[in-house]
Amino acid sequence: MFFLSDACCHDKVVDVKTICAKTKNPSFCSKLLNSMPGGVSGADFNSIMKYTFDVMHGNVTNTIELINKLIAKGNLDVSTKFHLEFCLGSFISAKNDVEYTREFFYSKDYGSVGFALDDTTHLSKACLAFPPRYKDSSLLPKYVEVLEQVIQIIGVIFNSFCMIA
């Protein structure tokens, strides 16, 4: 579960070490944030949120493209076809959530940002859970893992800049 907030401090400067220390994979976090065009050094809250939202949107879009390619290969057994079509639906919904997250943020509806991110996380995890006992040997689990790490980074950044209600 994420956060609820009424106010954010938009003037604070991003401290990559502090933010990444609060994530499950500080190395991934540091690499992601330090790859921000123009550099993260001295970046403000709005800039870093825009960048991470763009990364998250790109991750979801790339995951949808991967799923479509896997489906297009054809010759799928019933379990694989169900799994991929279920994941496709989950990620189409997740893409909508990502777009809503961005809209909520820019309209300063900070409480809804957390709910939309939380839903995106649930949708991505659900993809890998169905059907039960299905072993996905494609790149899809890795794509889901990357997305979940990006969402966690966004949550840490958000919580670092916003007062929790």
Q: What is the CATH number of the domain that holds 96?
A: 1.20.140.40
Q: Please check whether residue 100 lies inside any domain of the structure.
A: yes
Q: Please check whether residue 57 lies inside any domain of the structure.
A: yes
Domain hosting residue 158, numbered range: 10-164
Quote the pLDDT of residue 53: 95
Q: Are 16 and 31 in contact (CB under 8 A)?
A: no
Evaluate if pTM is beyond 0.85: yes
Q: Please check whether residue 1 lies inside any domain of the structure.
A: no
How far from 36 is each of 48, 55, 150, CA to CA, in Å? 8, 10, 13
Q: Please check whether residue 40 lies inside any domain of the structure.
A: yes
How far from 29 is each of 48, 114, 157, CA to CA, in Å? 12, 19, 11
Tokens found for residue 49: 């949120």
Tokens found for residue 129: 């859970």
Q: Please check whether residue 5 lies inside any domain of the structure.
A: no
Per-residue pLDDT of the chain (165 residues; tens, 9 = 90+): 444 445 666 566 678 888 999 999 999 999 999 999 887 877 888 889 999 999 999 999 999 999 999 999 988 999 899 999 999 999 999 999 999 999 999 998 888 988 999 999 999 999 988 776 778 889 999 999 999 999 999 999 888 877 544
How far from 71 is each of 67, 77, 85, CA to CA, in Å? 6, 11, 8
